[in-house]
Structure 1
Amino acid sequence: MPIKNSAKTGKEPKTVKKIILISTAIIILLAGAGGGYYVFVYAADDDNKTAQVEVDTREYHYVEIPPVVANFQVGKKMRYVQVTTSVQTRDEDSKKTVEKNLPLIQSELLLLMQKSDFDSISSVDGKALLLKDIEGKILSMFGDMPSFEIERAMMTGFVIQ
């Protein structure tokens, strides 16, 4: 009957476990180093590409559109809404175009407000929607001019009575 060396068989599984553990640690370290290399080398190239975006350094111009007052029949009461808006642009020609056409813009904004519902205009979401409609209306009025640009329209006054 062969005699087994229990000391030798007891050490064998421990050394195999150590080898597997060390191999796994080395693989994890190499994967981490490769991932770090990729992030620093390739992601840095992407950052450099996006950093080349041109920033518009032209000065802002603001044109205030005189207040527009619209009346609404709510039940048996007559209600009034006064909206004052301003337009922000960086283009001098667009500023002059808006200034020259203020009566036309006021007229179009009055018609736009009359199409709105009084209850919706008095809510925060309704005001935001009205402002978006005002901006869209101004842009569409001068859409045939390729150089016309406005950054945004702003509501600078709002009164409900």
Structure 2
Amino acid sequence: MADEEQAAPASAPRKSKLLVVIGAVAVLALAGGGYFWHMESAARAQASAEAASKIDLYLPLDPPFVVNFKDGDSLRYLQVAVTLMSHDQKALDAAKDASPVVRDALVSLFSNQDFSVISSADGRRKLQDQALATVQKIVKERTGKPGIDALYFTSFVMQ
């Protein structure tokens, strides 16, 4: 019986150590879970911010451009409506603030075209690419980066 009495007190410290270890593991698990939850919510917030920056922003250049150009002996007419697209509002603001410069550059570009070239789909795409490069150059001079991602002809009438 004396042996039983001495064995009982020795197992009590073991149980309390075991409870402390289990408690420490539980606290660490909760802390780790909280950390991962925080990291996941931070990642979701960052993804949301990135998605918001991917929103297409548009700036129509109103009124439409109207130019005359010569095609051999005849006089031709072109009316084209242009809309700019960007993911950066600052770039669109810069293009809007420089509207007279942008319009002048595009009028010069449009009026120097050859009717036979812009009559084809490939010719219009080439003109669209040239117009985009022209606007990007103007915006880059003001903001330090091209900023304009696309230029669309929303109306294209030749006569």
Q: CA deviation at 1:143?
A: 2.1
Q: TM-score, normalised by structure 1?
A: 0.61
Q: Deviations over 1:66-105 (max 9, x none)?
A: 2111212223321101111111111111111111122221
Runs of 4+ in 1 over 4 A off after TM superposition: none
Instruction: Give the 5 Å matches for 1:5-44.
Output: none
For the residues of structure 2 that align with 1:75 and 1:102, how far apart are their CA atoms?
32
For the residues of structure 2 that align with 1:139 and 1:128, how far apart are their CA atoms?
16
Q: Deviations over 1:7-44 (max 9, x none)?
A: xxxxxxxxxxxxxxxxxxxxxxxxxxxxxxxxxxxxxx
SS of the equivalent of 1:150 reads coil
Would you say how many aligned residue pairs link Structure 1 and Structure 2?
A: 108
Percent identical = 25
The answer to whether the 8 Å contact 1:81/1:160 transfers is: yes
For the residues of structure 2 that align with 1:108 and 1:80, how far apart are their CA atoms?
18
For the residues of structure 2 that align with 1:101 and 1:126, how far apart are their CA atoms?
27
For the residues of structure 1 that align with 2:67 and 2:120, how far apart are their CA atoms?
16
For the residues of structure 1 that align with 2:112 and 2:72, how far apart are their CA atoms?
17
What is residue 118 of structure 2 aligned with on the other side? Answer: 121
Q: CA deviation at 1:142?
A: 2.3
Q: Counterpart amino acid of 1:85?
A: V
What is residue 154 of structure 2 aligned with on the other side? Answer: 156
Q: Counterpart amino acid of 2:117?
A: S
Q: TM-score, normalised by structure 2?
A: 0.62
Q: CA deviation at 1:147?
A: 4.4
Q: Counterpart amino acid of 1:146?
A: G
Q: Counterpart amino acid of 1:116?
A: Q
List runs of 5+ in structure 2 lacking aligned partners. 1-46
